[in-house]
A and B are shown apart, each in its own frame.
Chain A
Amino acid sequence: MKRIYFLLVMLASLNFISGQEIDSDLVLIKQRLDSIKSYEALIKLDVDISFINMPSKYGKVKYKQGESTKVTSQDFIMLPKRGLDLTLNELFQHPFITLDRGEDKHKDVICKVINLIPTSSKSDFSIATIFMDTKAKRIVKSEISTKMEGVFTTSLDYKNDVDVLPRAIEVQFAVNSIKIPLRFLGKETEVDRKAIKQEGSKSGKIFLTLSEVQIAR
């Protein structure tokens, strides 16, 4: 509860400093997410990138308030840099202002769309667009333009109208294709990094499916 008050005070003070409104629906959603003390779930990861063939991977996801989300697996896994922050802690780490962008439809749901613009240079994103289902009080889509890692578009699907955490997450991003012969012996070991970088980028997706979700409030 103290944390929620702290958040409200922080947002109010940010509002005072910047003279900009912090969207009230976003604050409500954040409060709802902050009621989660910890959660645990089984996670299934599927990669859809044209030049990567990978079987479904399985692991465990663990979150504890005040700590970052942890994913463990016995296999080799590739985790998207964005998309696992289900409690929005990363977005709220540094101050920002919000801009109301009106309404838009996402998967037959009328959503309120807002832009998040960071006011601190420490923030690792330059702008984020959030689609909020205000009725269900949850985020259904986000587009985060990071400063270093490109744009991540995350789409969240929920099992029912009341769940606070999604059951399926789709993360879309841009990736550079690669062409490297994996041989240690012979001349093929030489790799032209410049040529690889010049190949351009392709769109990739990763699908995360959560099951057996256990939430502690």
Chain B
Amino acid sequence: MHSTNRFKSLIRQGTSMISLIRSEIYKISKQSKTLYAIAAILIIEGFVIMSAYYQGAGIIDLLLDNLKDSFEFRGNLLNGNLIIYLILNSLWFHIPLILMIIISGFLTSEYKDKTIETVMLQPVNKFYFILSKYIVSIAFTLLIVLILAVSTFFISYWIFGYGDLVVYLDGLNFFKSDDAFYRLINAFLSGSITMIFFSVVSLTLAVVLKDATKTWIVAAIFLICSNLLLKIDFNNDIINELFFSKLTDSWQYFFYYEIPYSTIYFKNLLLLGYSVLVMIIGILIFKRRDIQ
């Protein structure tokens, strides 16, 4: 009898959770900021493609300048794979910044419009409410990265075609077209974990700060500091390997000539751990705080 009640309770909680997630998805789909996020991504893509179209040959020329004395080159390096790689590099700053602004708005707009008070007047569990926000934020992040990846691959190959990829990372690394495709796909997958981390951080910042402008400023500072800290050598192996900012570049490791898979797995797993930790902190703060 006791177990049956518990089972019914679990079913109720599950149904409530699904309803909350559906409600969050509905809200996002109706908000104009979702369209702004997609538009921003397409604009970034457009800028990179445009600059590559006009300056790409010059940059490649400069890159191979020192080799021109000894070599003659056959083939085209300004191709779709290079453009995808350049757009992929927007995962350093542009894409996480857009995601952090949009995702923090999922909660701050509820505070601003006071819709959160209306929701809390309903028989809604605070834990499920904020958990559904986190789940939908992660799904939204994955959707944005997917849109970025699909549109990038499609447009880049369509305009610039296929070819070998050249990347400057600890030297000039050349990859054959099919190998480049494999590396780029995996870099997007790995990069989505980094994007999830920044999205979760931005939602937690929204939980703490409530105000949209404050959250945007702190989120931008967090992203800038994270990028700066990534480049700093702390002269300590533990900090250099375990500190969160040192884990956000795993996607870039796919462009080393020999892919260091173990490093990539380690960084991604640890970053997922950090994401869960930040999410738990956000949930605990939200649960303990009164909605005013």
Contact = CB atoms under 8 A, between A and B. Distances in A.
Interface residues of B, number: 40
A196 interface: yes
Given A52-B174, A79-B72, A182-B59, 15 more contacts: A51-B172, A53-B257, A54-B173, A55-B176, A73-B75, A75-B164, A76-B73, A79-B74, A81-B71, A148-B69, A178-B63, A182-B166, A185-B90, A196-B65, A196-B66
A175 B86 CA distance: 27
Contacts of B63: 178, 180, 182
On chain A, which size bracket covers the interface? 35 or more
Contacts of B175: 55
Contact of A184 (B48, B74, B164, B167): B48
B140 to A, nearest CB: 24
Given A182-B59, A185-B48, A75 B66 contact: no
A78 interface: yes
B174 A184 contact: no
A72 interface: yes
Contacts of B86: 182-185
B47 to A, nearest CB: 7
Interface in B167-210: 167-168, 171-177, 179
Q: Which of B47, B73, B75, B163 has its CB near the most chain A CB atoms (within 10 A)?
A: B75
A72 B59 CA distance: 24
A189 B163 CA distance: 23
B285 interface: no
Contact of B70 (A72, A73, A173, A197): A173
Interface in B103-117: none
Nearest to A184: B51
A176 interface: yes
Contacts of A174: 70
